[in-house]
Amino acid sequence: FRRVALLLTVALVVMAVPLPLQAAGSFTDLENHWVKEKVEDLVAAGVISPGEKFRPRDPVSRADFVKMLVTAAGLSQAVSFPPTFSDVRQDAWFYNYVETAAHHGIVQGDDSGRFRPYEGLTREQMATMVIRAFNDQSTADPSVLNRFKDGDRVSAWAKDNVARAVARGFLSGTDTGFLFPTQAATRDQAAAVAWQVLQKRGELLPPTTSPPATSPGNLTATVTVQAADRLLVTFSAPVDKTGAASLERYSLVPATGLQVPVALRAVVVAPDAKSVEITCSELTSGTRYILSMLQLADASGVKQTLSLPFTVPNLSTLPSPGASPSPNIQVLGPTRLKVTFDRDINPASFQAGPEGNFTLVWAGTVFSPGVVREATLVSAREIALTVPTLEAGRDYTLSIRDLRDTYGQKLSSSPLSYDFHVQSDSQAPVLQSVVSTGPGTIEFTFNEDLDAAVAEDSANYRLRETGAVPVSVVAHGNKVVLVMPTQLTVGTSYTVDIGALSDLWGNRAAAQSRSFTVQADTYAPRALEAKAVGSTAVEVRFSENLLTTGSFGLKRDGRKVDIVRSEQIRPGVVRLTAYLSTEGRYELEIFGARDLAGNQASSTTLYFTYDGTEKGEGSAFPPEVLAVKVNPGRSDQLEVSFSQRLAVSSAEKTRNYSLTAADDLSIGIDIDDATLGQDEKTVLLTLDEPLTPGVSYRYFISGVEGANDEEMIPAAGYFVVGSG
């Protein structure tokens, strides 16, 4: 679509003459706060509007920070029509600020043409916007990041701009030496940065280039919801049939919240080319969506990008959706999923975490129960995911983007979207077979994945004839391998007693016994998984005890990482010492491992990432919130899970936790008590009133310290209370 940029050389209101500062006194929550004086300056300069509450520790939204930045920098307003971004409407309060930021090259939006105004931004994203506003293209000195303990955690794309921001004084770290580049920026931090911009605005350089101006077309369109999974788009004039039939031109997202893309399954163009019918995943009654159509040509060949907001009516009056829950998803347990694809998957094309390929939301909503923490390729076409605790009886949607096959081709040009229903499993795991894979190893196979914490307890196994218990147990999926302390006699039958093992749902099998005959070891060892267990340690788990560990090659995003040492710390478990970063994905090549019988493992490649968590004691990293969920059976209690042990004094301060309604932050829910659990990683919050089923809430947590005295990374998020 060709646009006409209407450049208005009207300076945004930034008063040059000092104004009285008493306006900021209305912020009742800034008394004795370190940012109070800076906020007063910003209010006086018109950068921040006065009000009753400033909420300094809340995450700052992208729209709020762009307004602060554009106003503090005094940039000339540049308003364009139609809007640059599909999710920024002309009647939005931040429209002018976002358009100005886009014109000056400060913001660019995502691949779908969205700005995501209501989402937060990281500290490194904030620094990048500031450097773009100042058009700073000076040579960056990355060594300035070495002063921070986590300076190596700055993303590669942001490293130069963060270095410039630190060098120029826009961004600083904590008094404990952390920069927290990938964590959410809070409102007090954003205000401090905006204050620096206000002081340095005289250093602004003119932009080197301007976005090209284009001419608008005359095509308009309307959206009609025909069914829960079907839309009709009617155009004001015929469109190009070939272009309109391309599903890649369309995107559909909720207008607010996480804006997880709605899966689009098909598009059919009418014979007169004046309308199209779009089939999609099930929509939600009362929810507002934005349908975008990129570079759609009319009959004269003029291309336009249309952004069409619409609200879904009461779906009970419309036909039911035709889509059924996806057969691609298998729920292995309350925190485990397995996704099956129709092509072999390139293991280097995906990763878990906040920046990963996977997004999980409650079906029909824009709210997520949390981040997908682990993603592992368990077979050529299957990926196992570790997810936040799923609620039985609820429906979820898993979106997957940018997944590639072994030929490097994307599985889909648009995000894949799978709906699934969680039904709790009450059946105990069934032992299917017991075999000897050699004189020193025994392998069990069950009908489902087991709880590894229970299955790897060696006290659950005993040879009846000798009383021996295994020296090592490796549980992986539905298999358990025992490594015995001494070699058993080939050809002899033994009986193994097995304790009450449990599946991922907590269902325990009855204690049982099985007989087996020892076979000669003709099985080659298998490398099962590689996992980072700290900033300097990787554990590689094999299917049996090793005579020699072989050799290893480690790369991060294609660049070699030195392995300082490798040793078998217990039978079948090899620990590698290497310095790890939370940035990027690791590729571990394994060659030449041999078991006690001399069988050599096939060369294999495993992939893993490092999330910054230290499994051992003495971690220098602050605790992070892993999950927030309603305590089962108690709608007036929340469980907050952290990544490491906490200091009880700060963990049990109720002022460190806040809870509000998601759609109205002024409606707060009081927290009466905070109790640290026996594991010292879980805090139980007791509320002064029960939460309402089906209602979404927002939490914000800060100020909690780990047992290592490091203060937590502030966390904010949303959850919806289950109905059962």
User: Which 3 state secondary structure label does DSSP give 596?
Assistant: coil
**Which helix (H) or strand (E) covers residue 62, if one does?**
helix 62-73
DSSP 463-525: ETTT----SEEEEETTEEEEE-SSPPPTT-EEEEEE---BBTT-PBPPPEEEEEE-----PPP
Phi, psi for residue 192 in degrees, rounded to 5 = -65, -40
Spatial separation of the C-alpha atoms in residues 418 and 663, rounded to whole Å: 27
CA distance 117 to 126: 14
Segments making up each domain of the chain, as ranges: 4-121+184-203, 221-317, 329-421, 431-517, 527-608, 625-720
- Is residue 135 within 8 A of residue 73, CB to CB? The reply is no
Residue whose token pair is 């077309």: 217
| Nearest Cα to Cα of residue 670 among 702, 696, 638, 704 | 638
Helix (H, G, I), strand (E, B) or coil at 307: strand
- At 193, the amino acid letter reads V
- Taken as a whole, the chain contains a residue count of 724
- Is the CATH code 2.60.40.1220 the one for domain 527-608? yes
Q: How far apart are CA 394 and CA 486, in angstroms?
A: 49
Closest CA to 476 of 398, 556, 379: 379
- The whole-angstrom separation of Cα 594 and Cα 483 is 15
Cα–Cα distance, 403 to 382 (Å, whole number): 12
Contact, 171 vs 190, CB < 8 A? no
Q: Pick from 264, 259, 238, 254: which is nearest to 286 by CA?
A: 254
**Sign, CA torsion 56/60/63/65:** positive
Q: Is 425 helix (H, G, I), strand (E, B) or coil?
A: coil
Residues 6+ apart with CB under 8 A from 35: 56, 188, 191, 192
Cβ–Cβ under 8 Å, residues 280 and 274: no
In a 3-state reduction of DSSP, which class is residue 249? helix
* 695, containing H or E segment: none
The continuous run of DSSP H or E covering 164 comes out as helix 159-167
What architecture (CATH level 2) is domain 431-517?
Sandwich (2.60)
Q: Which residues pair with 605 in a beta bridge?
A: 589
Helix, strand, coil fractions of the chain, as percent rounded to 5: 15, 35, 50
What would the pLDDT profile of 688-715 be if each residue is shown by its tens digit? 999 988 888 888 898 898 887 778 877 8
Token pair, residue 454, equals: 């229970």
pLDDT for 675: 93
Tokens of 299: 């009959």
According to the 3-state scheme, what is the secondary structure of 536-565? CEEEEEECCCEEECCEEEEEECCEEECCCE
Q: Which residues pair with 345 in a beta bridge?
A: 405
Query: Which class does domain 625-720 fall in?
Result: mainly beta
Q: Contact at 8 Å (CB) between 348 and 323?
A: no
CATH for the stretch 221-317: 2.60.40.1220
Closest CA to 379 of 411, 415, 347, 334: 347
**Residues in CB range of 524: below 8 A, 6 or more apart:** 595, 599, 600, 601, 602
CA proximity to 573, closest of 470, 699, 460, 697: 470
The owner of tokens 């449990």 is 502
**What SS3 state is found at 588?**
strand
Segments of 578-656 assigned E as strands:
586-591, 594-595, 604-608, 625-630, 637-642
> Which CATH number applies to 329-421?
2.60.40.1220
Q: Do domains 329-421 and 431-517 have the same CATH topology?
A: yes
Strands 303-311 and 594-595 turn out to be unpaired
User: Residue 375 is inside which H or E element, if any?
Assistant: strand 374-379
Task: Give the CA angle between residues 25, 28, 30 to the nearest 5°.
Answer: 80
Among the listed residues 271, 222, 267, 225, the one whose alpha carbon sits nearest the alpha carbon of residue 248: 267
What CA–CA distance (Å, rounded) separates 50 from 21? 11
Give pLDDT, residue 19: 36
Q: Report the amino acid identity of residue 353.
A: G
pLDDT score, position 558: 80
Rounded (5°) CA angle 259-217-3? 65
pLDDT in tens, 428-480: 889 999 999 889 889 999 988 898 889 988 899 999 999 999 988 888 888 99
Instruction: Quickly count: other Cβ atoms within 10 Å of residue 370's Cβ.
Output: 18
pTM of the model: 0.43
Secondary structure letter of residue 429 according to DSSP: P
Paired tokens of 642: 């952290």
The gap between the terminal CA atoms of the chain, to the nearest Å, is: 48
Residue type, 77: Q
Taking CA atoms, 169 is separated from 6, 14, 127, 200, in Å, by 34, 21, 10, 10
- Fill in the amino acid letter for 212: P
Residue 99, H or E segment: helix 95-103
CA–CA gap between residue 214 and residue 2 (Å, rounded): 4
Instruction: Look up residue 707 and give its DSSP letter.
Output: T
Virtual torsion, Cα 514, 519, 522, 523, nearest 10 deg: 10
How far apart, in whole angstroms, are the C-alpha atoms of residue 239 and residue 270?
A: 10
**Mean per-residue pLDDT pooled into runs of 10, the chain (724 residues):** 36 35 61 87 86 85 92 77 76 84 86 81 92 84 85 88 88 81 88 89 49 50 84 90 84 66 82 86 81 81 79 70 60 90 86 84 78 84 89 86 85 81 84 90 90 89 93 87 90 94 90 93 88 87 89 89 88 88 85 90 87 56 82 88 87 91 80 89 92 86 84 79 60
Evaluate whether 646 touches 675 at the Cβ level (below 8 Å): no
